Chains A and B, each alone.
Chain A
Amino acid sequence: MESFLGRYRNLIILVGVLFLQVLGLAVQVKTGANEDKDTRLIRIWALGAITPFERALVWVQNSTGNVWHNYFYLRGVRAENRQLKEQIEQMRVEQVRLTEDAAQARRLQTLLAFKEQFISKTVAAQVIGTSGSDLSRIVTLDKGENAGIRRDMAVITADGIVGKVLLVSPNLTQVLLISDQSSGVGAILDKSRLQGVLRGTANGEVALERVMSDEQVQPGETVLTSGGDQIFPKGLPVGTVTSVGKGKDLFLSINIKPAANLSKLEEVLVLTEKQERESVADDHVRVRAADILAQRLPSVPDKPATVGTPTGVAQGASEASAGANTATKPADAPGSNAAGSVKSASANTPAKSTTLPVQPGKTAAQTSVAQKPKPVNKPSTEPKPEGTQAQPATQPSIVEQKPAPVAAQPDTPPPTQDNSPQ
């Protein structure tokens, strides 16, 4: 017996070690330890041993990168700044249009007593590592419970959803990406409104499952979160359909290109607070895109107002040009509209303009008073002076008083970002 044990000692130890690991696996599979957090502590220990070094590497990399980008490599910054300002202007106009749509949707939702979900607070975190395996698609964040992050919270970027929180320790978070095989997200196709389940595939791609094969889905269609998983609020961008094929069991095989670049994640937002409330119709005075445009268009120097100018055709134009007629003439002046309003359309965006309280039925632009006309051919990208924003709290300031939209919920209040350094 002793000779047998001595002869096969190595093999016996191998079998013993393998048996123990198989037993451990069986227990995990049987009890669903992956879900039940039974292995949480041991995983946190392993992460705790690895991540300090990763943090140090990220810190060194960021420090050197910051020195280079902030002090040396500033080429093209002015041009980029100009471009971004133009983009902001365009987005402001777009925002007004969306706000109108949202207000309409809210009124309808109010009628139906819908409940909406709002993102009320987010925590910004940096990605410091990965699992190191292509079979387990997770990333590690540099913030944890101390920053208010909890298990099953949604993780997003500005482009789209990223994943959900899988494991949290006081200062670390593991995020399961939507490209992992074990992830599942409720999703809806934007145009066709078909619902499905978003899952990761074995090769790291993302697919939309559970869409019946008799449905029509076109490549290029946008996919949004449906809110059905109770993790992601409804309407966040998920990605676009890249290909549609016949799948198994009467379902389509739909491949999705994620909106967020999952392979190059740097910073992400963890949604730490969501609010649910019933829709309330917005009774605020509407501001139209045309009003905003009119404010930013180059203006013609003011001419004295002509009383009794024919209104006729120019009536519509006066409205479309922000109703600046009231800015250059007394509000009760007869015929205070028409061509005169066109030429002074942007007269309420000069360097020193003040605003009056908005009267019912009038826009903020219509009530502003120009003190100094804007010069002709002044670029529309000129930053708006602060004076134009100084309005009473009850007024619907064109941009500032409307909450920033979040994804497909344009009326959602802006998320609060906790960027406090750890």
Chain B
Amino acid sequence: MPITYTSGEQVEVYRFSLPVTIGVPLVALIVQAYIPKYFPSFAVYVDLPLLVTIFFAMARRNPVAGLFTGAIIGLVQDMLGSREIGIYGIAKTVVGYGASSLGVKLDVENAGARLLVTLGFYLVHAAVYFTVARGLVNSTQHWSWAHGVLAGLVNAFLGVILYFVLDRFKQRT
């Protein structure tokens, strides 16, 4: 497996310009809200804001920055929906923290690692969302492993492509 353990000195930490920091999540949210108008399945299988959260968290390798990135993107996603505000926020906060913590310890620059990490965090995100929605908000949710794994794979493959595009915006610290 291409995932390798690296020391703290070996990993590179990246930063992003302000327009990219604001613009990329905004575009992800817009596309996520617009495309299901024509392709409803897009909303079922793809979570672009989640992919952007994972990308920024892994690139910055700063857990605090990662969790705040996830929290903000998740809360905005909540605001666009009809459910209580905070469900996506909590799920993406956990993912942002986890992805950046993982990025500190593992080399997640190659495609194979990114694929597995994205698949794993998609499932974590779905599990946290399910728990919060069912436990705190008392929403009727059904867990489906088949759907989770399928959607996770779709997101993972899409994520690998997206991350290579977004790599162009990275700036070395």
A101 CA to B32 CA in the complex, in Å? Answer: 48
Is B83 a contact partner of A135 (Cβ separation < 8 A)? yes
Is B140 a contact partner of A181 (Cβ separation < 8 A)? yes
A29 near B: Cβ within 8 Å? yes
Min distance, Cβ B141 to any Cβ of chain A, angstroms: 6
CB contacts under 8 Å to A, within B59-106, are 63-64, 67-68, 71, 75-77, 79-90, 93-94, 97, 101
With A26-B136, A132-B43, A181-B139 already in contact, the answer to whether A39 and B37 are too (CB < 8 A) is no
Q: For B136, list chain A residues within 8 Å (CB).
A: 22, 25-26, 29
B2 near A: Cβ within 8 Å? no
CB contacts under 8 Å to B, within A13-58, are 13-14, 17-18, 21-22, 24-26, 28-29, 33-34, 39, 42-43, 45-47, 49-50, 53-54, 57
A124 CA to B142 CA in the complex, in Å? Answer: 36
CB contacts under 8 Å to A, within B22-79, are 26, 29-30, 32-34, 36-38, 40, 43-44, 49, 63-64, 67-68, 71, 75-77, 79
A57 CA to B37 CA in the complex, in Å? Answer: 12
With A10-B64, A29-B137 already in contact, the answer to whether A50 and B93 are too (CB < 8 A) is no
Give the nearest-CB partner of A42 in chain B: B79
Is B86 a contact partner of A135 (Cβ separation < 8 A)? no
B158 near A: Cβ within 8 Å? no
B133 near A: Cβ within 8 Å? yes
A130 CA to B36 CA in the complex, in Å? Answer: 7
The size of the chain B interface, using a CB distance under 8 A, is 47
A263 near B: Cβ within 8 Å? yes
Instruction: Choose among B33, B79, B129 the residue that contacts A54 (Cβ–Cβ < 8 A).
Output: B33
Q: For A140, list chain B residues within 8 Å (CB).
A: 33
Q: For A248, list chain B residues within 8 Å (CB).
A: none
The size of the chain A interface, using a CB distance under 8 A, is 51
Q: For B83, list chain A residues within 8 Å (CB).
A: 34, 135-136, 182
B111 near A: Cβ within 8 Å? no
With A25-B87, A29-B84, A166-B82 already in contact, the answer to whether A134 and B44 are too (CB < 8 A) is yes
Residue-wise interface mask of A (118-162) relative to B, using a CB-CB cutoff of 8 A (1 in contact, 0 not): 000000000111111111111110000000000000000000000
Main secondary structure of the interface of B (DSSP, over half): helix
On B, residues with C-beta under 8 Å from A are 26, 29-30, 32-34, 36-38, 40, 43-44, 49, 63-64, 67-68, 71, 75-77, 79-90, 93-94, 97, 101, 129, 132-133, 136-142
Q: Could you write out 12 A-B pairs with CB less than 8 Å apart?
A: A10-B63, A14-B63, A21-B89, A25-B90, A39-B85, A57-B34, A131-B80, A132-B80, A133-B77, A133-B88, A135-B81, A135-B83
On A, residues with C-beta under 8 Å from B are 9-10, 13-14, 17-18, 21-22, 24-26, 28-29, 33-34, 39, 42-43, 45-47, 49-50, 53-54, 57, 127-140, 166, 174, 176, 180-182, 202-203, 263-265
The 10 closest A-B pairs by CB, nearest first: A136-B81, A46-B79, A132-B32, A132-B33, A263-B40, A131-B81, A10-B63, A25-B86, A21-B86, A134-B44
Query: 15 additional contacts, CB 8 Å, given A21-B93, A132-B81?
Result: A10-B64, A21-B75, A24-B86, A25-B90, A29-B136, A34-B84, A54-B30, A54-B34, A130-B43, A131-B82, A132-B36, A132-B43, A134-B40, A139-B37, A166-B82
